[in-house]
């Protein structure tokens, strides 16, 4: 009787392990979604400095690639990051920059400037895990540039 009970609990433990493994696997966003390099903000803006600020501070949630930082790979933090990336890409995707009309691009840059000046982006919760993404006053100035 004791052996049958042990086997039952071993089966339950194995089943729980498989469920957790599946949840971990499904929680990570498509880190390497294919991107046409000619569509990216870097290709459109060149190396103006703006592109590097956007990719460093905004790229995890607003492009088709996520960094390999531990926060993007370790659950449950990776689940939070995945959700943020899914939501962020719906609003703005710097990897698909050329698909936006010039008017839309200007509007997105103006909104990015306003969010950076107001401290709304990058989000405080994100900065807890990625302090290197914090925008300096110079970064905000770069995002808000003379044409915005």
Beta bridge partners of 65: 32
Q: pLDDT of 50-69, one tens digit each?
A: 989 998 999 999 999 887 78
> How many angstroms from the chain centroid is the CA of residue 73?
12
Q: Which residues fall within 8 angstroms of residue 70, CB to CB, at 6 or more apart?
A: 77
Cα 28-34-40 angle, rounded to 5 deg = 110
Average pLDDT over residues 4-14: 69
Residue 77 has pLDDT above 50, yes or no: yes
Residue 15 has pLDDT above 70, yes or no: no
The pLDDT value given to residue 27: 47
Q: pLDDT of 29-44, one tens digit each?
A: 455 567 788 888 888 8
The pLDDT value given to residue 147: 56
Return the structure tokens found at 145.
Answer: 């540039």
The pLDDT value given to residue 144: 95
Closest of 126, 127, 56, 139 to residue 94, by C-alpha: 56
The pLDDT value given to residue 123: 93
Residue 74 has pLDDT above 90, yes or no: no
The pLDDT value given to residue 104: 96
pTM score of the predicted model? 0.72
Q: Could you tell me the maximum CA-CA distance found in the chain, to the nearest angstrom?
A: 78
Residue 105 has pLDDT above 90, yes or no: yes
Q: Are 48 and 126 in contact (CB under 8 A)?
A: no
> How many angstroms from the chain centroid is the CA of residue 1?
51
Give 70 or 28, the one with higher predicted confidence: 70
- Taking all residues of the chain, what is their mean pLDDT, rounded to a whole number? 83
The pLDDT value given to residue 45: 79
């Amino acid at each position: 009787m004791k052996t049958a009970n042990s086997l039952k609990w071993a089966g339950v433990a194995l089943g729980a392990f498989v469920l957790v493994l599946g949840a971990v696997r499904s929680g990570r966003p498509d880190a390497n979604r294919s991107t046409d390099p000619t569509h990216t903000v870097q290709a459109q803006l060149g190396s103006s400095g703006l592109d590097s600020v956007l990719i460093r501070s905004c790229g995890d949630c607003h492009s088709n690639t996520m960094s390999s930082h531990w926060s993007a790979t370790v659950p449950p933090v990776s689940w939070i990051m995945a959700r943020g990336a899914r939501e962020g890409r719906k609003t703005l995707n710097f990897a698909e920059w050329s698909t936006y009309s010039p008017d839309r691009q200007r509007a997105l840059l103006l909104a990015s400037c306003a969010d950076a000046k107001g401290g709304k982006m990058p989000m405080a919760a994100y900065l807890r895990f990625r302090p290197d993404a914090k925008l300096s006053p110079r970064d905000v100035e770069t995002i808000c540039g003379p044409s915005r």
